[in-house]
Structures are given as structure tokens and as C-alpha cells.
Amino acid sequence: MRRTERLFALAEALRAHRGGITVAALAQRFGVTERTIHRDLVSLRAADLPVKGEPGRGGGLALDRTYTLPPVNFTAREAALLVAAGEWLAAARILPFTETLRGALDKVRAALPRQGQAELERLCEALAFAGIPAHQASAAVRGAVEQALFEGRALRIQYRKRPEHMPQWRHVRLRTMVMTRTEILLNCDDLDQREARQFVLHRIEAAELLDDAPA
């Protein structure tokens, strides 16, 4: 990577880590020495990019909090890779929150001018993925799980452990989600049994958001 390209990429990396990132992490990311990163930072500061340094544990380099970020600008190649990867995640059902994902992909497309959008479509046609489709949960269940995950809400789920079993209602709080090529696993706190439980997403037949844990 040429120095000019690295300076632009370094500025983008700082924009992407407003909470701070270390010189060592930047050096590893760009495959250069820490001394080189320090020289690049001098150049960025000379170009009026307000890079601040916070010493000590948890500190690092960050842009000044008052710095207003310009709109994100993608190249057609960057956008093509993001869109193609996102569409594959949705089509292969690896990521269950497809409606939110497709909305994000539309924003990536919208960030490009008309000529860039045409180039994006051409590049996307040149990329193809093959995968094993996962089992699918209903859109209502996926929507409730998405809200529960990102908003820290509890859920009431109707769960069928095996096809031959009767479904049961469970009250859970979702902690983490593990995505494989064939199924999506939800690691939860079972609020009724007061223990950790793992549930398979496509075996959830209904889901309702709760404001509070059941008494």
C-alpha cells in the first residue's frame, strides 16, 4: 500500500474507532512499524485532522469528540464487496435479521452516484457464492429475537425441542447468538429454570417481547 493510500485508510480507521485505538493495533493492521504510524499521524495532524492521544490502559488514539464526520464515501469496489457479502448472508440464512440487513445494503447503494451504482451492479454480477441454506424461522420470530438481542429485552418463546414433542412456552433473556452453516443457536438465561440454556432458532414457533422478567 502506498503512503498516500495508507494515510486515507488510517484516517478511516480512526473514524471507525471513535473510542480509541492503539498505535500498535494500527501498525499491525497496516503491516508497518509503530514508528511509521507515528510519522503518518504527524502528517494527518498537519492536514488538520484532530487526532488526540489518551495515555494509560483503555486509552489510545481517537478523533476529537467535537469533530464532525463527513458522509461515508464508498468506492464501487468496496460497495460491491459489502453488498455481495450481505446478500449472501441473507440468501444463505446465516444472518437471520435479513430485513435490517437489506435496509443497510440499500444505504450502501445509495451512497454511490449513478455511475458508481452501475459499476456496483456490474461487479456484483461477477461475484457468486454457494452455501448450504439454514433452516428458517418466521419473520415475526426473527424480528422479536433481533429486538431482544440489540435492546436487551426478555422474550417469551414457544419452543419445540424435537418435531415429535409438544411446544412449550419459555421465558428467556438472550445473551449471545452463534451462527453456523446449518442452524443458529441462541445462548439464553432461562428465566423460569434460572439456568443457562441453548435454543435453536428455527425451533422457536412464536416469540413475544417482554418488558420485564416474569415474577
The pLDDT, as a whole number, for residue 70 is 63
Distance CA 41, CA 48 (A): 11
Task: Please report, for the chain, the start and end positions of each structural domain, with discontinuous segments joined by +.
Answer: 3-63, 76-125, 139-210
Cell numbers representing residue 61 in the block: 488514539
Structural fold of domain 139-210: SH3 type barrels. (2.30.30)
Distance CA 106, CA 108 (A): 5
pLDDT in tens, 109-155: 877 778 888 888 887 787 776 766 678 899 899 999 999 998 889 99
* pTM for this predicted structure: 0.64
Distance CA 60, CA 17 (A): 10
* Angle (nearest 5°) at CA 55 between 51 and 60: 50
Output the CA–CA distances (angstroms, integers) from residue 168 to 57, 158, 159, in the order listed. Answer: 47, 5, 5
The pLDDT, as a whole number, for residue 56 is 45
The pLDDT, as a whole number, for residue 35 is 92
Query: Over the chain (215 residues), what is each successive 10-residue block's mean pLDDT?
Result: 82 77 88 91 86 63 71 79 84 83 84 81 76 79 92 94 92 91 90 94 95 58
Top CATH class, 3-63: mainly alpha
Output the CA–CA distances (angstroms, integers) from residue 212 to 148, 171, 208, in the order listed. Answer: 12, 10, 12
